Amino acid sequence: MVRLALHTPEIPPNTGNAIRLAANTGAELHLVRPLGFSLDERSVRRAGLDYADLAEVVVHDDTAAFAGWVRAAGARVFAFVPGAPVRYTDVAYSDEDVLLFGRESTGLPPEVAGADWVTGTVALPMRSSNRSLNLANAAAVAVYEAWRQQGFS
């Protein structure tokens, strides 16, 4: 199943919901530090409920460590950024792909979205009059599209 990566997330309930998403879809969740919270905070536990034991969560110390893991794994990375020329539905996802999302307040830094270890940038379409989607909701849309393409296996 596809891998979901949150780069320096700030809001504990979003990460808790991503843990629940990973548990229910079989996606592997990668968190890139620094995190804006402690993983044992009550709000993360509450949002993730008892799913943390059912999800595979990998925490990377920083962007460099995550990039090293990506290179070693030979994974394709699709960075989700506003205004990317490719829609998330136009990518044929494979089991080993990584769907990379940025932090809630600022998204992915340009140096991460444009890094040489990022395969491409993709966007979730939305109304131009609105600013953004909730991180956990955007991640769920993308993970379910990748899973759908794999026949929900």
pLDDT in tens, the chain (153 residues): 999 999 999 998 899 899 999 999 999 999 999 999 887 766 666 655 567 778 999 999 999 999 999 999 999 999 999 999 999 999 999 999 999 999 999 999 999 999 999 999 999 999 988 888 999 999 999 999 999 999 998
Residue 95 belongs to a domain with what CATH number? 3.40.1280.10
Total domain count, the chain? 1
What are all long-range contacts of 22-26, with beta carbons under 8 Å and residues at least 24 apart?
22/51, 22/55, 22/56, 22/57, 23/48, 23/51, 23/52, 23/54, 23/55, 24/51, 25/1, 25/143, 25/144, 25/147, 26/1, 26/147
Task: Confirm whether residue 124 is marked as ligand binding.
Answer: yes
Domain membership of residue 117 as a residue range: 3-150
Is 102 annotated as belonging to a binding site?
yes
Q: Is 83 annotated as a binding residue?
A: no
Q: What pTM was estimated for this model as a whole?
A: 0.94
